[in-house]
Amino acid sequence: MQLQDKYRIALLSAYALALHGFESLFPTPVPWLRLGLANIITLTALVLYGIRVAITVTLIRVILSSLFTGTFLGPAFILSLGGGVTSTLAMGIVLSITPRLFSIIGLSLIGALFHNIAQLILAYLLFIQRIEAILLISPIIIFLGSVTGTVNGIVSDLLIKNLKKGDKKIQNVNK
């Protein structure tokens, strides 16, 4: 199944990159409000194809998008990488330990939460050594993250359900 995985990874990464690029076209009226649309892809990949695929897609998305925008190894890249990997791992671990406890939406929420926490910690350690600044923006970031995480979760849920239906159709045809 290696080859099939590779196709999926490539396709999903393409989608993730496209979404990321699409999202960055939007002007953000409120600072720190990033929709994180690419996380929909990550979550879908995780649920349907497993953690290996999900992590690979995340890494490819983060690295390639930073290469494209010329911010490779820059601060944005580090934060993106840290947040993305942490959130994917967190979702993956929850999914494997307690698969039924949270729904897709809950997983998305967890992903968003860990994504933000990781970024706050990284920002504190590497860039802004003032704890007051971090403490001040944490609640807002977590709040916004919860909102976007929920919305992304809903979209992911619909997407996954649709894909599963499509899969079933194909399997039925094969039979």
Binding other proteins (rule: CB under 8 A), the pick from 67, 93, 125, 128 is 128
158 lines the binding site for other proteins (CB under 8 A) = yes
**Alpha-carbon span 115 to 56, nearest angstrom:** 16
Binding mask 17-56 for other proteins (x = CB under 8 A): -----------x--xx------------------------
Residues in the chain: 175
Q: Which tokens in the block code for residue 153? A: 């979760």
**Residue whose CB is less far from other proteins, 18 or 94:** 94
Q: Which of these, 74, 65, 66, 49, lies nearest to 17 by C-alpha position?
A: 65
Which member of 22, 52, 68, 75 binds other proteins (CB under 8 A)? 75
Number of helical H runs and strand E runs in the chain: 6, 0
Q: Is the separation of the CB atoms in 78 and 119 below 8 Å?
A: no
> Are the C-beta atoms of 159 and 48 separated by less than 8 Å?
no
- Establish if 4 lies at the interface with other proteins (CB under 8 A): yes
Q: What is the binding site for other proteins (CB under 8 A)? A: 2-4, 7, 11, 28, 31-32, 74-76, 79, 100-106, 109-110, 113, 123, 127-130, 132-133, 135-140, 142-143, 146, 150, 154, 157-158, 161, 163, 166-167, 170
